[in-house]
Amino acid sequence: MILHEFMTFEVLRVIWWLLLGVLLIGFALTDGFDMGVGALLPFVGKTDTERRIVINTIGPVWEGNQVWFILGGGAIFAAWPPLYAVSFSGFYLAMFLVLAALILRPVGFKYRSKREGAAWRRNWDWALFVGGAVPALIFGVAVGNVLQGVPFHITPDLLMPRYDGNAIMKLLLLLNPFALLAGVVSLSMLLMHGAAWLGLKTEGAVQQRAQKIGTVAGIVAAVAYALAGVWLAFGIKGYQIVGEVVKDGPSNPLLSEVTHGGSWMQAYSDRPWIVIAPVLAFFGIGMAVLGLRKGKEVSTLLWSKLGITGIISSVGLTMFPFILPSTVDPNSSLTVWDSSSSHLTLFVMLICAIIFVPIILAYTAWVYKVLWGKVTEEELETNAQSY
């Protein structure tokens, strides 16, 4: 009871905003290197044996890593229902592409080695490439569109009509220049992350190729991230809440008055401490690139994780308290203060998170400890369970 009284509606909303960010970062740090490895597969493995080595670096862990993706979707559904309703309907076709690509991954793992034919295996290798590269790109495109705002509105009775226009046109509108630049940031940073993972788990020619490609990908990620920041500062209008902000009121976005103008970078004047996020992003990427060039292994993967954490955190901290701005009706924009579930729902979910998230973390740590070590050709020959 004391804990329930201490956890005010305002506090719970901020906690679940933070937890959503943690889950998304957790997904990028774990399943991110899975996607990066998949996208690198056709380029770092020149022979069938080399490609099997690459596949088996992620084969035992990719399913567990996707738990973070499921947790993130569940958190949006339960803690931020309006966000779930608007985003899943508006980004429907893009999400379908992501899911279709992700489905190729388990199918590719299971069927690739069912036949000996070179063409058969090569086709499944490219399917695994699609399963890694497409989600990595589309996730970034989605973030780019969120920063620009998306075309939705909320009616006075709090209904959320689907976006106007046909599905193909909506998808094409999502693929605008700034969103594609954000997609490049996402794809290149996960390629770097995947290369860092291969640097840790492989040796010889595969490791060297991965480190070479990862170095280039890291440089591209840093440059694209910098360009996106400049574009965001001078070419993308931000959103601000006008007047008094009610942080513990009902979840009704229409009660707030929002303006669409100025710059998102105003957040750095209002909260100067958030500059730590882009600093960590550039520092982490820079150290990861240096580690890839020097052939470092464990430290490179850790630096890569730091850079990704900085990039994702900078988006959330820059936009706060906005979660999903509206270009059609700024007053319909979803914020931390007016688009959450009820106080009781957030509290009960927090108790569940306190219980189960540590269990997931402990189990994940144990799995990686058991699977520690490099994947070698000798291991493929002696392990009947390898892909």
Quote the tokens at residue 91.
């980004």
What ranges do the domains of the chain cover?
2-382
Alpha carbon distance 181, 140 (integer Å) = 8
Query: Can you give the pLDDT at residue 165?
Result: 56
Q: Could you tell me the pLDDT band of residue 89, with boundaries at 50, 70 and 90?
A: confident
pLDDT in tens, 372-387: 888 888 877 777 667 7
If pLDDT is split at 50, 70 and 90, which confidence band does 245 have? confident
The closest alpha carbon to 290, from 370, 377, 196, belongs to: 196
Nearest partner of 150 among 130, 127, 173, judged by Cα:
173
Question: What average pLDDT does the segment 347-363 reach?
Answer: 90
Longest alpha-carbon distance in the chain: 68
More confident residue, 42 or 160: 42
Main-chain phi, psi angles of 386, to 5 degrees: -70, 155
pLDDT of residue 164: 55
Residue 311: is its pLDDT beyond 60? yes
Give the pLDDT of residue 304: 96
Model pTM score = 0.92
Q: Which pLDDT value is given to residue 112?
A: 86
Q: What is the mean pLDDT of the chain?
A: 89
Six-digit token string for 85: 């309703």
Cβ contact 101:130 at 8 Å: yes
Token pair, residue 136, equals 């990595």
**Percent of the chain residues past pLDDT 70, beyond the cut:** 95
**Residue 336 neighbours by CB distance under 10 Å:** 21
Greatest mean pLDDT among 61-70, 107-116, 141-150, 243-252: 141-150
Mean pLDDT calculated for residue range 226-253: 90
d(CA 277, CA 311): 7
Residue 321, pLDDT above cutoff 90? yes
Separation of alpha carbons 212 and 377, rounded Å: 21
Measured CA to CA, the distance from residue 305 to residue 242 in angstroms comes to: 37
Indicate the range of 62-71, 143-152, 212-221 predicted with least confidence: 62-71
User: pLDDT tens digits for 259-285?
Assistant: 988 889 999 999 999 999 999 999 999
SS3 assignment for 55-97: HHHHCCCHHHHCHHHHHHHHHHHHHCHHHHHHHHHHCHHHHHH
**Residue 46 contacts by C-beta under 8 Å, 6 or more apart in sequence?**
205
d(C-alpha 171, C-alpha 183), whole Å: 14
- Check residue 16 and give its pLDDT: 95
Predicted local distance difference test score (pLDDT) of residue 345: 92
How would you classify the pairing of strands 237-242 and 322-324?
unpaired
The distance in angstroms from the start CA to the end CA of the chain is 52
Tens of pLDDT, residues 17-63:
999 999 999 999 998 999 999 999 999 998 988 999 999 899 888 88
pLDDT value for 192: 97
For a pLDDT cut of 90, what percent of the chain falls above it? Answer: 55
* pLDDT band at residue 163 under the 50/70/90 scheme: low
Find out whether 98 and 138 touch, Cβ atoms under 8 Å: yes
Q: Average pLDDT for residues 61-76, to the nearest whole number? A: 86
What are the DSSP calls for 318-359, one per residue? HHTTEEE-BSS-GGG-EETTTSS--HHHHHHHHHHHHHHHHH
Tokens of 323: 């979660």
Q: Three-state DSSP class for 370?
A: helix
Number of Cβ atoms within 10 Å of the Cβ of 159: 9
Label the pairing between strands 257-263 and 237-242.
Answer: antiparallel
Higher pLDDT residue, 206 or 378? 206
Q: What is the pLDDT of residue 162?
A: 61
Q: Minimum mean pLDDT among 74-83, 184-193, 228-237, 377-386: which range?
A: 377-386
